[in-house]
Amino acid sequence: MKAQTDSLVQFFDFENAAVRKDGLSALGGTAAMHGVQALMTAAPLLLQNHALQSATEALQAALDVRIVDILAAAWNTRQELRQYLDRTKFPANQIIDHIIAKHDVHSTHKPRLQIMLDQSPVGPEIEFEVIVGLTVEAAVLRIQDARIMGARMGKIFGTGTIKCEGATLFSRPTKAVTLPLTVSFGTGLAIGKANDAAIAA
């Protein structure tokens, strides 16, 4: 069940010290961080170095997005699933397994951070771009009462990059994503509502 809760932190191997160090050095070379460090010249060197560390930790918090949620949100955008909204044709007690053949899921979101010194903002906000690409061999969505109750997935391959001001901070080559074969969405995701919260059981 741990794999079901894997997020983009594990996807980008953010907890790896070597990967994190490379990302920190790349982040320190951006113009935004140069500006922040210029504003913190009077502060001790320890604080200047800690600003990078703090930004990385905040980015890690922004990457706390489960992969299955990304997949569910992506599947929910399929137009073919909207047919199950017809209750006369698909009654509520009817369980439908909808099969999706091999497909690619693209996800992009842009978290924004603000470095603070003594509770005061230092410099402008720093925007990151998190790009995730997932290739799903096949997936069977269990649908009931116009809700996606769960899914069974085949092999998934994923790649992704985290950029800041055009500079790549973290990059993940295309490799298999460890996810369970069966994923349950609890009470289910309402079809047609993109931002419906999914609770994994």
Partner 1 sequence: MSHTRPWYWPVLGLAAFLAILFATTAGAQDGDGRPSAREEQLLTDFLILAVKPEGDDQDYKLVEIGKAKLDAATLDTVIKKKPRDFLGLGLGLGGSDDERSYNPAAEAAQCRAACAANSQCRSFAYVPPNARQQLGVCHLKTLVDATLGAMTPVPNPDEKTQSPREPDTGYTKDPPIRETAPIEIPPRETQVIETPTVETAPPKPERPRAETPPPPRLPPITVEPFPMPPRMIAEAPPRNIFSPTANIEPPPPLPVRIDEPIVVTTSEEAPVRPRKPFPLWLALVSIAFMLGGATLYSHSHRKRLRTRVSTRLVSNGLDRHSLGVQTSAQPDIGLRFVVRQSAAVGAPGTRIDLFPSGALA
72, 100 contact by CB (below 8 A): no
Query: Is there binding between residue 149 and partner 1 (CB under 8 A)?
Result: no
Question: Which span (11-19, 62-70, 165-173, 174-182) binds partner 1, by CB under 8 A?
Answer: 62-70
| Binders in 26-55 for partner 1, by CB under 8 A | 43-44, 46-47, 50-51, 54-55
- Alpha helices (H) in 7-66, listed in sequence order: 8-11, 17-28, 31-39, 45-62
Toward partner 1, which CB reaches closer, 1 or 133?
133
Retrieve residue 30's tokens. 């951006």
Containing 31, the helix (H) or strand (E) segment is helix 31-39
Strand partners, 151: 141, 183
Toward partner 1, which CB reaches closer, 68 or 113?
113
8, 67 contact by CB (below 8 A): yes
Residues forming contacts to partner 1 in the complex (CB under 8 A) are 43-44, 46-47, 50-51, 54-55, 57-58, 61-62, 64-65, 70, 73-75, 77-78, 94-119, 121, 125, 128, 130, 194
